[in-house]
């Protein structure tokens, strides 16, 4: 394994900003990844792992680390107890994988269609959309513990899944590298319909008994209308998708929020633990931002207030600064601090 030096990372991210990796290597298999870890440890160099680049913002200065781009591929499955267990390598493009499961009639991932990125990212932040989360179906995650160099299959119960969170993300971020994920899906199962927008779109299409493919088509159409699928012709394409997670606050904070909002229509959803989830997009728009608003080469998507878009000439510092301004405005207006969804490489 011989890393390349001073490799620009901007072209490997969907935002298209950021500086170079001091060292860079692609890992198409586990032995290459293990060699990269050993190389970094021998030299006292930090190790960073890059997937599809749709959930990372790289600083303009780049990163003084060995960046390993995972390109492991392969999908296997086996039938078990009326279900099918499907294992996908971390480097598989996520939407290609979802399309495969839908085409085969395996229910469980259909509402997660159109999400950019790779399979390996899905357990990291417990990817979810339109009423589904990957934690609903994940049975185990194959991961490398970079501290000890050991590879293990981690059962779902030990993954610490929560809203856009997991053990892999919160416990010593960067320590674990996901190599493969196994999902338990239901052959011939019904699609999930828990989201009003999806039900409405299906009704508008005249679909009364939706199949998995119908739900996938509706989800893709909804996401496309929000510029939440990667389309080279879309002027909003250079983004990380949703830049902030929907905040979850204690129930005790709701009265103050309602007073500050002065709007009974403020979206809120009670959570199983008694806390309240809010809409980050609603908070942003009601803190004074509008879709399409720009400050120089960075701004909000014209189609969704949650997406920060980098236009020609944008730098990572512009993205960071704009995100801070959004956070500060929302915090001043509502007393809620928005948390970024992408990882900052600084």
What residues are labeled active site? 164, 242, 341
CB atoms < 10 A from the CB of 124, how many? 28
What secondary structure does DSSP assign to 180-210, as a single string? EEEEEEEETPPPP---HHHHHHHHHTT-SS-
Q: Tell me the C-alpha to C-alpha distance, in Å, between residue 55 and each of 181, 210, 271.
A: 18, 31, 25
For β-strands 63-70 and 20-27, DSSP reports them as: parallel
Q: Which residues pair with 86 in a beta bridge?
A: 77, 183
In degrees rounded to 5, what are phi and psi of residue 164?
50, 40
**Sheet strands (E) in the chain:** 4-8, 20-27, 47-50, 56-58, 63-70, 75-80, 83-89, 106-107, 128-129, 132-133, 138-145, 150-155, 176-187, 248-249, 268-270, 276-278, 294-295, 298-300, 308-310, 343-345
| Contact partners, residue 335, CB within 8 Å, separation at least 6 | 253, 256, 257, 260
Contact 298, 309 (CB under 8 A): yes
Nearest to 222 by CA among 100, 99, 110, 114: 114
């Amino acid at each position: 394994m011989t890393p390349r030096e001073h490799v620009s990372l901007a072209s490997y991210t969907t935002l298209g900003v950021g500086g170079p990796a001091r060292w860079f290597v692609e890992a198409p298999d586990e032995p290459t990844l293990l060699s990269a870890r050993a190389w970094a440890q021998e030299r006292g160099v930090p190790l960073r792992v890059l997937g599809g680049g749709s959930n990372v913002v790289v600083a303009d200065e780049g990163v003084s680390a060995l960046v390993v781009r995972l390109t492991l591929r392969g999908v296997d499955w086996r039938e078990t107890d009326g279900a099918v267990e499907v294992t996908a390598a971390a480097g598989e493009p996520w939407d290609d994988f979802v399309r495969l499961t839908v085409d085969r009639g395996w229910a469980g991932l259909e509402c997660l269609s159109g999400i950019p990125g790779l399979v390996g990212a899905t357990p990291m932040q417990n990817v979810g959309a339109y009423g589904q989360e990957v934690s609903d179906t994940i049975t185990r995650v194959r991961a490398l513990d970079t501290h000890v160099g050991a590879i293990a299959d981690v059962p779902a119960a030990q993954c610490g899944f929560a809203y856009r969170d997991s053990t892999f993300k919160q416990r010593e971020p960067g320590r674990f590298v996901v190599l493969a994920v196994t999902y338990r899906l239901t052959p011939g199962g019904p699609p999930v319909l828990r989201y009003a927008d999806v039900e409405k779109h299906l009704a508008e299409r005249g679909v009364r008994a939706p199949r998995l493919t119908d739900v996938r088509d509706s989800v893709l159409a909804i996401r496309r209308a929000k510029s939440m699928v990667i389309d080279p012709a879309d002027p909003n394409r250079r983004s990380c998708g949703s830049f902030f997670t929907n905040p979850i606050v204690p129930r005790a904070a709701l009265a103050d929020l309602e007073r500050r909002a002065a709007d009974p229509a403020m979206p809120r959803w009670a959570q199983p633990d008694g806390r309240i989830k809010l809409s980050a997009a609603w908070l942003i728009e009601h803190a004074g931002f509008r879709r399409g608003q720009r400050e120089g080469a960075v701004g909000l998507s014209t189609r969704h207030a949650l997406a920060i878009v980098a236009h020609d000439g944008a730098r990572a510092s512009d993205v960071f600064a704009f995100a801070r301004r959004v956070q500060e405005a929302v915090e001043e207006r509502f007393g809620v601090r928005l948390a970024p969804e992408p990882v900052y490489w600084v």
